[in-house]
Amino acid sequence: MINQKQEQPVFLEPVMKQMVWGGNRLHEIFGYTIPGDDTGECWAVSAHPNGDCVIKNGVHQGEKLSELWEQNRDFFGGITGDRFPLLAKIIDARDDLSIQVHPDDSYALVNENGSYGKTECWYILDAPVGAKLVIGHSAGSKEELAELINEEKWDMLLTSIEVKKGDFIQIDPGTVHAITAGILILEIQQNSDITYRLYDYDRLSDGIKRPLHIDKSLDVIRVPAADPETMVRHCADLEADKMHLLVESAYYKVWKCNVVHGMEIKTEEPFYIVNVVEGDGLFNSEPIKKGDHFIIPGNYGMIKFIGKMELVLSTVSDKK
Ligand code: ZN
């Protein structure tokens, strides 16, 4: 297009969220200013109304990501849609998270005021030795599922797998899941905040139990559950200086890059979200470091990373 101004990448100010299960590693490990020692989530790249990131640099400085999305669709390769499609968070679980499940788009559209459903994936940034994720369940039918839930036979129902730093897990809607104490993850997800809580370990928060959503959970949980081992990919030791596609789902593509010397990428996607999860270096001539999150516009041309760092890149997918 003639005279189209070259957009520059935007760096985002994360939004911190306090949670009963949160901790202080978002400060200790990532150096963010946190509101308290119960900070559970850092919404790193978000245009969601519950945490809309502000742009820190360039001509768009001070704008919210949702505003850039509304007003400047060329930045995002001209793609359509009424909401910015993705959300990237870092989650610090000092304590176990509740056992939960998310709906898909069609269920959320009807039952959650037109919200998107939630497909998500996790890159494990840190985990204690022997850490477990709750993933899936053992019920063979909806009847058995309802019975085990109603009788609160959680040990019989829930299944878990061992994970370690560098593992990557895809969580489709309808998959029962929970992060356990000590795990730190980067989550890439559809832009949605709809979670159904199935079980909260009977914990009290300010003297009361947090509400559960048993009926909706029963509606959306897939039976039988997929084999949890098929959802996990071990990717701590990927070949250096290359883009490794970890998942291409209906909503997003996610890559991991271990930059050791340097690498170049030609932009071929509507945009790239970049999460710097380890180390530091240069992005073209711009210094970047662990904890930085930015979006590279789709028509940017060549991208060059130099330094010693680990990056997670993501973009939208139209593989529906
Ligand atoms: Zn979830």
- 239 part of a folded domain: no
* DSSP-assigned letters across all residues of 131-190: -EEEEEE--SSHHHHHHHHHTT-HHHHEEEEE--TTEEEEE-TT--EEE-TT-EEEEEEE
**Pair (120, 206) in one structural domain:** yes
What's the 195 CA to ligand 1 centre distance in angstroms? 7
**Pair (219, 251) in one structural domain:** no
Cis bond upstream, residue 103 (ω within 30): no
- 122 part of a folded domain: yes
- 1 part of a folded domain: no
What's the 318 CA to ligand 1 centre distance in angstroms? 22
Burial of 317 (0-12, 13-18, 19+ CB in 10 A): middle
pLDDT at site 101: 98
Residue 71 pLDDT > 50, yes or no? yes
pLDDT cut 90: percent of the chain above it: 89
Its pTM surpasses 0.85: yes
Q: pLDDT tens digits for 269-290?
A: 999 999 999 999 999 999 999 9
Residue 105 pLDDT > 60, yes or no? yes
What's the 265 CA to ligand 1 centre distance in angstroms? 31
**Pair (80, 229) in one structural domain:** yes
- 3 part of a folded domain: no
Of residues 90 and 299, the one with the higher pLDDT is 90
**Pair (159, 127) in one structural domain:** yes
**Pair (42, 111) in one structural domain:** yes
What's the 288 CA to ligand 1 centre distance in angstroms? 29
Specify whether the CB–CB gap between 26 and 32 falls below 8 A: yes
**Pair (184, 271) in one structural domain:** no
**Pair (207, 272) in one structural domain:** no
Residue 320 pLDDT > 70, yes or no? no
pLDDT at site 206: 82
Among 184, 201, 234, give the residue marking a domain's end. Answer: 234
What's the 236 CA to ligand 1 centre distance in angstroms? 22
- 94 part of a folded domain: yes
Q: pLDDT tens digits for 115-157?
A: 999 999 999 999 999 999 999 999 999 999 999 999 999 999 9
Q: How many CB atoms lie within 10 A of CB 8?
A: 15
pLDDT at site 193: 86
Residue 231 pLDDT > 90, yes or no? no
**Pair (137, 223) in one structural domain:** yes
The sign one gets for the Cα dihedral 120, 121, 123, 125 is positive
What's the 68 CA to ligand 1 centre distance in angstroms? 27
**Pair (186, 250) in one structural domain:** no
- 130 part of a folded domain: yes
Domain total for the chain? 2
pLDDT band at 2 (very low <50, low <70, confident <90, very high): very low
What's the 188 CA to ligand 1 centre distance in angstroms? 10
**Pair (90, 38) in one structural domain:** yes
- 2 part of a folded domain: no
**Pair (78, 219) in one structural domain:** yes
**Pair (145, 201) in one structural domain:** yes
- CATH number for the domain including 255? 2.60.120.10
pLDDT at site 4: 60
Residue 45 pLDDT > 60, yes or no? yes
pLDDT at site 319: 65
pLDDT band at 235 (very low <50, low <70, confident <90, very high): confident
Share the mean pLDDT of the chain. Answer: 94
Among 180, 199, 234, give the residue marking a domain's end. Answer: 234
Q: Which two tokens stand for residue 232?
A: 């996990």
Specify whether the CB–CB gap between 305 and 281 falls below 8 A: yes
- 138 part of a folded domain: yes
What is the domain extent for residue 135?
10-234
Among 234, 259, 287, give the residue marking a domain's end. Answer: 234
Q: pLDDT tens digits for 251-261?
A: 999 999 999 99
What's the 216 CA to ligand 1 centre distance in angstroms? 15
pLDDT at site 229: 85
**Active site residues per annotation:** 197
